[in-house]
A and B are shown apart, each in its own frame.
Chain A
């Protein structure tokens, strides 16, 4: 028997011809926070649903607290709590009623359920709304209740499936604080997220998932360190000039410059000299950058290096176009993932430019809250 709180070996799951999980392995020691990071459709949610006994895997092995999710699902269910896009709360019930319902169904003793619900409502700052139907809650309140519902029975293992997707910065930060508290109490947490910063802030260890594979599994610090050096980003006025700049640099610089819309990016171990060389070359070719950024690599860059693309660029059917184009802080819910699809090129680029202005500060690139926060539930399950 393994000491791991969560153990996954060679896990596969197919939906028709699509391999949602194509043989993934990882293990999470007790008390650790493990982040599964990847774009929509990478297989994160599928992994959580298998571990939560909702979905039967096609192959491989998955254990929670040493219990096999396929052979001992009933026992596994006594060990886990689930929140996020794989779970929901009942909008017709009040916050208190939701927590009590979950507590009862998790087989807590009747007289323990009430005090536990009150305690959680207090802790998640929902006491003032405890007796209001959840349909009157804002998006942030619903997510807090959702995470609270996963904790009612004090499960030793917690699955948080994109717990903050669609939340504004403030709600997200609050939820992060609570999650960190949980961890301090010794819960083992499996967190899935599309947000690099979220994984970076919360997880001890991060597995980057892409197309059903784990492409990297390391600490956040080491993932970033894999890209030793300095990132230089040159923003040009238009794609044509960016293309020319890219051509010039590819020929002359050893650091494999990459073009991304109007931006040319290169990573170098010799930052200062590479920068001088780059600018000299551009100047010699009568190209002058519109923007210039020199920074340490981010997890975003690590993802790019590992998968060949940025996490937002997954071009699948669920792509969304940011409606605002210029201001990454003013977007609507639909632009949440900052994706662009065919035909949305310029919008996507504008966003990239905008996010690059928020250099070095990840928040600048974090999709922000949305006027739609209090509106009706977005279709959270479309990403499942």
Chain B
């Protein structure tokens, strides 16, 4: 070995525990959240689109839409809006990662002795945190336009938690997309064609039974619909368990497929 004096090298065991990986993930989460503290208007911007949808469907189209069970349309609408908000919000995950790819920051992370998963868990944890704030604010908007929970507080909270679970799972799809595309502008353009059919050919705004029969199969069982139905059942009452299980199964399935895919993609970047 050489005897030359070198800067005191810190010695750390290369083998690291899952806990250390989680710790790296939280470090990256903190980094991703700093931007919202620095530019709080970013949160406001994420709210504009869902608020416009609430106003549009509550006051413009809503009068023409009849929903089964004789419940007020605003009550039907809001649980769907929560799901729609986090679904479109998942675009942020893709754009955030694509921006880091493009800037070269991920290359620096790549050369650091940190967990390979941390960039992705850090991104998705940060987006989950953002979604907690956004969904809470959307709930306030909902109550302001006349939304009323018909079950109880526990049902409402369970519904919100389900929406957040869905948000977390969904952000893994877009983490994969963002890493694969690696350019924020293209990512923005690429996500809409994926999201539009999921959000609009769904039970978010209108009952699926009003759609043509060829569309009903997709519209009934796709993840946005089952999650909207489950959240609706939790907040308004009615048969709940089946939708809830379907929604949780979708979330688990999405994470099981996309998380390893995204980590693989990160490892084999460039």
In the bound complex, residues from chain B placing their C-beta under 8 Å from that of A185 are 5, 7
State A102–B24 Cα separation when bound (angstroms): 11
- C-beta contact mask, A101-113 vs B, less than 8 Å → 1, else 0? 1101111100000
Chain B nearest CB, measured from A45 CB (Å) = 10
In the bound complex, residues from chain B placing their C-beta under 8 Å from that of A107 are 10, 12, 20, 113-114
With known contacts A133-B38, A154-B9, A85–B110 Cβ distance under 8 A: no
State A3–B20 Cα separation when bound (angstroms): 32
With known contacts A88-B104, A92-B35, A105-B27, A53–B111 Cβ distance under 8 A: yes
Q: Is A313 an interface residue (CB 8 A)?
A: no
Query: Are B113 and A77 neighbours in the complex by a CB distance under 8 Å?
Result: yes
State A49–B35 Cα separation when bound (angstroms): 28
Q: Is A164 an interface residue (CB 8 A)?
A: no
State A25–B28 Cα separation when bound (angstroms): 37
Q: Which of B11, B31, B103, B107 has the most CB of A within 10 A?
A: B107
With known contacts A87-B104, A88-B104, A149-B108, A31–B4 Cβ distance under 8 A: yes
Looking at chain B, what size class is its interface with the partner chain? 35 or more
Q: Which of B27, B34, B110, B118 has the most CB of A within 10 A?
A: B110
Q: Is B14 an interface residue (CB 8 A)?
A: yes
Closest to B23 in A: A104
Chain B nearest CB, measured from A108 CB (Å) = 7
Query: Are B2 and A3 neighbours in the complex by a CB distance under 8 Å?
Result: yes
Closest to A109 in B: B10
Query: Are B7 and A154 neighbours in the complex by a CB distance under 8 Å?
Result: yes
With known contacts A186-B5, A380-B104, A104–B12 Cβ distance under 8 A: no
Q: Is B192 an interface residue (CB 8 A)?
A: no
Query: Are A101 and B104 neighbours in the complex by a CB distance under 8 Å?
Result: no
Query: Are B111 and A108 neighbours in the complex by a CB distance under 8 Å?
Result: no
- Chain B residues proximal to chain A, CB less than 8 Å: 1-2, 4-12, 14-16, 20, 24, 27-28, 31, 34-35, 38-39, 102-105, 107-114, 118, 269-270
Given A31-B4, A107-B12, A186-B7: 5 more A-B contacts, CB < 8 Å: A85-B104, A87-B105, A107-B10, A154-B9, A185-B5
- Chain A residues proximal to chain B, CB less than 8 Å: 3, 5, 29-31, 49, 52-55, 72, 74-75, 77-80, 82, 85-93, 97, 101-102, 104-108, 133, 149, 153-156, 185-188, 377, 380-381
Q: List 27 A-B contacts (CB under 8 A).
A: A49-B270, A54-B270, A55-B270, A74-B15, A74-B113, A77-B113, A78-B9, A78-B10, A82-B107, A86-B107, A87-B108, A88-B103, A88-B107, A89-B105, A90-B105, A92-B34, A92-B39, A104-B27, A105-B28, A107-B10, A107-B20, A108-B10, A149-B108, A154-B10, A155-B7, A185-B5, A187-B7
